[in-house]
Every structure is written in C-alpha cells, then in structure tokens.
Amino acid sequence: MKLLSEVEPEVKVAVKKIDGGLEVKRNLEELGILEGTELTVVATEPVHVHAGPISLKAGEMEAVVARGWADKVRVEKAGETLPLLRLENGEKGTVKTIEGGKTFEDNFSELGIEKGSEVKFLRHLPDDTLVFKIDDEEIPMGEGQASKLLVEREGQPIQVNYLKEGEKAKISKIIGGTSLKDKFEQLGIAEGNEITLVRKETPAPSPKRGTYVLAKIGEQLVTVGRGLAEKVRVE
C-alpha cells in the first residue's frame, strides 16, 4: 500500500485504509472517498494561492461557498467551460455542471446557484475564524464551515456568515448530508437553536504552501488537500 499523496497521475487505485479519527473520515466521506472507493489520480498540483472559501453573487443573492464545494462547479465563460475557481474577481460565468449528484445540486440551490444560472465571482475570502455562541458555549468555525448554516433574518434565510457581531438569529437549516448534521449536533448546533455571532478573528497572514491531489471518482472530480491525502492508503 502507498499513500494517496504518493500516487502518480493517470493511475487508478482503490482505497484500502483511512488513517486518523472520525473527523478525517467524515471530511473524506463528504468528498465521496471511503474505504473501497476506486479513483484515478488526475494530477498533483500546487495549492492555488487562494485556498479558502469564495464569495459569489447569483441573481440578487450573495453567497459564501466553501472551497471543497466550489470545486464541484464548472462554468461557461466566453464559450469555454472551466472550473468555477478559475474565475477572477468581478468575472461572470454560467453554471454548466454541478458534480456530486442531486444532493449537491440541492445544496447549491439553497444558495441560489443552479445549472443555467449566471454567477459573478466577487472575491476570495480571508481565513477568518468566526466565533459563535449557542447557550453559553463559544464555538469557533471557519468561513467555509459556517457557510453551511442558514439562519432567519427578517423572515429571509441567510448564511450565518452574514450576521453582524452581537447579532442573534435562529438556525433554519443545515445545508449538507447526515454526516455534516451529526458533526454539527456534536457541537450543539441544530436546526431551531438560536446562535449569536460573537466576533471575527483574523489570523496573521501566512503563505499558502503544499500541494493537493486532483482525483476522479467515476465522472466526478474531487480535490483532496495534502493533509487528507496523507491519511488515505491505497493499492
């Protein structure tokens, strides 16, 4: 067996073992990678200088999209189909495909992003940590993780990222599958609970280093960060 991070491009392998705890397995499961999964490594590439979540506008709605989700979207720009993350600030594209099946299509639909809709790439987001409070417990989250929580504001659903410091709202929906809901439930986060954005913490800037593995599972392309790829043993 070897690590997924060591597999050469164009080689097809099967996942034999996933090292690490439940958190690692859940993160990989969201990408469709479980023990027994067959995949083909497409490339091992340097991490994009912007490795975090992004902000988009679809119609009148602004949305935060986690990097792992953004990787599942292909758009058409000037007659060329390309990954959503190839767009630069201010550029527009029409959504052509959303990989990952109906579940991901439904997830994106909650954010106003659907096949055929035009999206405008607003900006890459900084690696802020959002600190929330539920009851008396403080819960830190990255922008990407927080983007999967919808809350009610004036009768309209918004992502929890758009709350102001000190603002409280009721969680209306968790966008994602059962594993994500279970993960949030362990943190005390559930639909119907009240949540408050306490503060945003901006870390000191640091350069993006390392590589990621681009792999194909069936017809779906997934991006696996080097840290996760080193937890996957394949044969």
Last residue of a domain, one of 92, 124, 156: 124
In this structure, are 33 and 85 located in the same domain? Answer: no
* Residues 171 and 149 sit within 8 Å (Cβ to Cβ): yes
In this structure, are 37 and 60 located in the same domain? Answer: no
* Model pLDDT, residue 47: 54
Last residue of a domain, one of 100, 124, 148: 124
Return d(Cα 103, Cα 30) in angstroms, integer.
11
In this structure, are 41 and 19 located in the same domain? Answer: yes
Greatest Cα pair distance in the chain: 54
Return d(Cα 55, Cα 125) in angstroms, integer.
7
Last residue of a domain, one of 77, 93, 124: 124
pLDDT digits (tens, 9 = 90+) for 78-104: 998 888 988 889 999 999 999 878 888
Nearest alpha carbon to residue 148 among 119, 179, 127, 120: 179
Give the number of domains in the chain. 3
Q: What is the pTM of this model?
A: 0.69
In this structure, are 97 and 61 located in the same domain? Answer: yes
* Model pLDDT, residue 99: 83
Range of the domain at 65: 54-124
Q: For residue 83, with 0-12 CB atoms within 10 Å meaning exposed, 13-18 middle and 19 or more buried, which class applies? A: middle
